[in-house]
Each structure stands twice: as C-alpha cells, then as structure tokens.
C-alpha cells in the first residue's frame, strides 16, 4: 500500500477539530456546513470488471452523498464537506480516458473549496488516486494499493486506514465481501471519531443490474442505525441471496439430523410448516440418535435419517422461498445451501435461515 502524504500540521493557536465541533454544537449562532465524518474505500475487481465504493459515516444517509460508480468509467468517493459534483464529473473524465490522478487534479484544481474536500478515485485500469485537503478535520488521510484507495476524515486514528487497506488486501471472496471487510476493519481499529450512523455499498458491473439491463450490480444502504456496518452486511446477504446469481452446484445435499430438526422448527415458527410435521421431524431425529447407539444397525439409521426432511418440509421450504423472492435458487439448491451453511449461520429464526442460505451458497461463484 502507499500513502499520498501526511496531513498538514495545524497552526499552534488553532483550536483542535473536536473543540470547534463542540463549540458549534453548543452555540446555535454558529453555522457550520455539514461535514460527514467518514471513511470509505473505492476499488476495482479485475477478475469481474466490477468497481465499487463502501462507506461509513456519522452522517445520515451517507449513501446519498459519497459513492458514485459506473461500469464504463470507475468509482469515485467524495466526502468531507463533500462536493457531490465530483461524482458525475469524475466519472465523465474517466470515460474520456483520463487516469485517476489526472481526474483528481482536474476536480480539485477547479474548486476554490478544495482544501475542505476529500476524494478517492479508481479507474477501470485499477490505478487509484486520492486527495485530502489541508482543512479536513483530523485525523484525515488516504492510502492506496493495487486496485483500491481508502480515505477518511474526523477519524480516531491513522490505523483506521491501515486496517482497511490490510483487510481489503487479505480478505478472500468477491469485491463486495472485501469492501465490507474493509469497513469492519476500519471501524474496529478506531473508525469515526464521532461514532456511527449510516453505511452504504454500491458496486457496478457490466450488465450486472436487475435482469441484466443496467450496471447497478449491488446497491445497499443503511441510512440511520446504531450499528450500520453490521446492518449493511445483513442486508447485503439478503440482497445477495435474492438478486445475485450463482453457478449451479455439481451436487446437492439433503437436510438430516439436528440441522433438519432445527430448520423444521424454524419453518413451523414462521408459519410455513404444520407444528405436527415439525414435531415428527424432531421425533425421527431422536429415533435416529437412539438407533445410532445400537451396534451394527447402520441400515436402520440411514433409513431414519433419509426420512428426516420429507415432502411436507420441502413444501414449506418452497413456500418460504416464494415469500422471500428466492426463486433464482431451486428448492434442492436452497436445501443444499441450508444443509451446508446451518452450522456457520448466525442469528435466530428467519435471520439464521437466510444467513445459512448465504453461507451455503458462498462456495459457488457468482455469475
């Protein structure tokens, strides 16, 4: 990773940023323009030609301000007294063939208030560039690496950016997983000095949008939440399972044993399965455990397990699939995903069921 430079030192007699912010909050006569205290990452995935921005801020609806992406241009993150014109103007310049550094120079040189701005840009060639104005509130800075740039202002520390860069470089998975991992790492390393409020993930890919008719591959926002990055990840997983396609598995598993009983109970709690069918599943699972204790009776055990998740349960799973708009995954694939992902899934009830589907599908490449 590489840095664009250390922040400019403050004058000795200038009050620090936290003093200024508290003074403005306490005195209604002092008017200050909103300055989202923000950290973000703009990045490209050379394997899929996807480009994206992930951002968190102590600012409502940060997704409406910071991220701009286009599959035919690149990604722009504009923040710190954000000039939202940097977004469309930056993408237009990238389309003209300018590199990221030239785009940043053009945007900031034409802006009298550039010292208060911060912007990160990544082009389709993966080359990043960023600008952090000398009047951005501490800690403010940016770091770049292959195919990405991270930037932040009003941060707790410089380690926030370092952690983001390391997480993006070291995380396995697709671009959205790596972007979310960078947000988590930055937050855990210090994050936004003023706290958390909103987060967003915006990724474009050629023909990646709904029904392949635009490039809006992933567009998920959390506008106001106590733990916006956690909530962003939860909503992204639901979005992923619902809207993003995966390659078909070579083989599928059926639900058996404790996982089958737990899934049946969850489907019953959600009203998709008759409680008597759920109870029957638990009884069969218990019978299978007893049979297991009998030496040499493997055939009977297998038969019991084969019956654990039967037609009523799959009908309930089909209903669950339809209600949640998971039609892009056939029931056998959905059951296979739950069987593989149940042990790793988090949450309770429907949240755990969806998380299990996501974990189980994660081994398959996105189309």
Whole-angstrom CA distances from 39 to 35, 186, 260, 349 are 12, 8, 42, 33
* pLDDT the model gives residue 25: 44
Strand, helix or coil for residue 299: helix
Instruction: Give the integer Cα–Cα distance in Å for 257 and 338.
Output: 13
Is the separation of the CB atoms in 134 and 17 below 8 Å?
no
Least confident of 3-17, 103-117, 135-149, 198-212: 3-17
Q: How confident is the model at residue 21 (pLDDT cuts 50, 70, 90)?
A: very low
Q: pLDDT by residue (tens digit) across 302-345? A: 434 445 799 999 999 999 999 999 999 999 999 999 999 999 99
Whole-number pLDDT of residue 281: 65
Q: For residue 277, what pLDDT band results from cuts at 50, 70 and 90?
A: confident
**Predicted confidence band at 275 (pLDDT cuts at 50, 70, 90)?**
confident
Residue 216: Cβ within 10 Å count: 16
CA dist., res. 39 & res. 141, Å (int)? 10
Average pLDDT over residues 227-247: 97
Compute the distance between CA of residue 114 and CA of residue 144 in angstroms, rounded to an integer: 20
pLDDT score, position 45? 98
Token code pair at residue 324:
């949640």
Of 227 and 290, the structure prediction assigns the larger pLDDT to 227
Q: What are phi and psi of 91, to 5 degrees?
A: -65, -40
Give the model's pLDDT for residue 283. Answer: 53
Q: Which whole number is the average pLDDT over 260-288? A: 80
Average pLDDT of the segment spanning 25-31: 48
Confidence of residue 278 (pLDDT cuts 50, 70, 90): confident
Residue ranges with strand state E in the chain? 2-3, 38-45, 50-57, 67-70, 74-79, 118-123, 128-132, 141-145, 148-152, 198-204, 216-222
What would the mean pLDDT of 76-99 be, rounded to a whole number?
97
Statement: residue 13 has pLDDT above 50: no
Is 80 exceeded by the pLDDT of residue 24?
no
Q: What is the pLDDT of residues 163-183, one digit of tens each?
A: 999 999 999 999 999 999 999
Q: Taking 60 as the threshold, does the pLDDT of residue 18 lie above it?
A: no
Whether 292 shows a pLDDT value over 90: the answer reads no
How far is Cα 218 from Cα 201, in angstroms, rounded to an integer?
Answer: 7
pLDDT of amino acid 35: 57
- Quote the tokens at residue 246: 């995966």
Kindly report the backbone phi and psi dihedral angles of residue 297, in degrees, each rounded to the nearest multiple of 5, phi listed first: -110, 45
Q: Which residue has the higher pLDDT, 293 or 315?
A: 315
- Please calculate the CA angle 12-16-17 and round it to the nearest 5 degrees: 145
Q: How confident is the model at residue 299 (pLDDT cuts 50, 70, 90)?
A: very low
Write down the pLDDT at residue 318: 97
**Rounded Cα distance, 57 and 130, in Å:** 18
SS3 state of residue 236 = helix
Contact 122/100 with Cβ under 8 angstroms?
yes
Residue 143 pairs in a beta bridge with 3, 150
| pLDDT, greater one: 301 or 54 | 54
- pLDDT of amino acid 81: 94
The chain-wide mean pLDDT, for the chain, equals 88
Domains and CATH numbers, the chain: 2-243 (3.60.20.10), 257-361 (no CATH)
Residue 326, both tokens: 């998971």
Q: Are 70 and 49 within 8 A, CB to CB?
A: no
SS3 assignment, position 362: coil
pLDDT the model gives residue 36: 57
210 has a pLDDT exceeding 90: yes
**What is residue 34's predicted lDDT score, i.e. its pLDDT?**
56
Rg of the chain, C-alpha, whole Å: 25
Looking at residue 3, what is its pLDDT?
A: 53
Cα separation, 232 vs 217, whole angstroms: 16
Could you please report the per-residue DSSP string of 263-285? Answer: HHHHHHHTTSS-HHHHHHHHHHH
Per DSSP, helices labelled H in 67-134 are 86-95, 100-109
- Give percent of the chain with pLDDT exceeding 70: 83
pLDDT(10) > 80: no
């Amino acid at each position: 990773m590489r840095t664009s430079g250390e922040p400019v030192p403050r004058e000795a007699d200038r009050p620090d940023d936290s003093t200024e912010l508290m003074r403005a909050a306490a005195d209604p006569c002092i008017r200050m323009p909103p300055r989202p205290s923000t950290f973000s990452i703009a990045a490209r995935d050379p394997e899929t030609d996807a480009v994206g921005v992930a951002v968190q801020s102590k600012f409502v609806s940060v997704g409406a301000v910071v991220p701009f992406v286009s599959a035919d241009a690149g990604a722009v993150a504009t923040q710190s007294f954000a000039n939202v014109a940097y977004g469309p103007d930056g993408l237009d310049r990238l389309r003209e063939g300018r590199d990221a550094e030239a785009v940043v120079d053009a945007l900031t040189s034409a802006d009298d208030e550039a010292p208060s701005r911060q912007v990160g840009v990544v082009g389709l060639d993966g080359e990043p560039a960023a600008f952090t104005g000398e009047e951005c509130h501490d800690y403010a800075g940016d770091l770049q690496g292959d195919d990405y740039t991270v930037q932040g202002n009003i941060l707790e520390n410089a380690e926030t950016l370092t952690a983001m860069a390391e997480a993006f470089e070291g995380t396995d998975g697709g671009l959205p997983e790596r972007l979310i991992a960078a947000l988590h790492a930055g937050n855990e390393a210090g994050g936004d000095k003023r706290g958390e409020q909103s987060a967003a993930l915006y990724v474009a890919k050629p023909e990646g949008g709904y029904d392949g008719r635009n490039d809006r591959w992933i567009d998920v926002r959390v506008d106001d939440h106590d733990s916006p990055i956690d909530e962003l990840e939860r909503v992204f997983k639901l979005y992923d399972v619902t809207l993003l396609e995966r390659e078909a598995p070579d083989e599928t598993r059926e639900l058996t044993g404790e996982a089958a009983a737990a899934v049946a109970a969850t489907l019953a709690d959600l009203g998709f399965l008759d409680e008597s069918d759920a109870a029957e599943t638990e009884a069969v699972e218990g019978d299978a455990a007893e049979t297991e204790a009998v030496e040499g009776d493997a055939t009977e055990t297998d038969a019991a397990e084969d019956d654990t998740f039967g037609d009523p349960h799959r009908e309930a799973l089909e209903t669950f699939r339809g209600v949640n708009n998971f039609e892009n995954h056939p029931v056998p694939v959905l059951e296979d995903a739950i069987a593989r992902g149940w042990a790793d899934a988090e949450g309770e009830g429907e949240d755990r069921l969806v998380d299990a589907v996501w974990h189980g599908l994660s081994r398959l490449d996105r189309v």
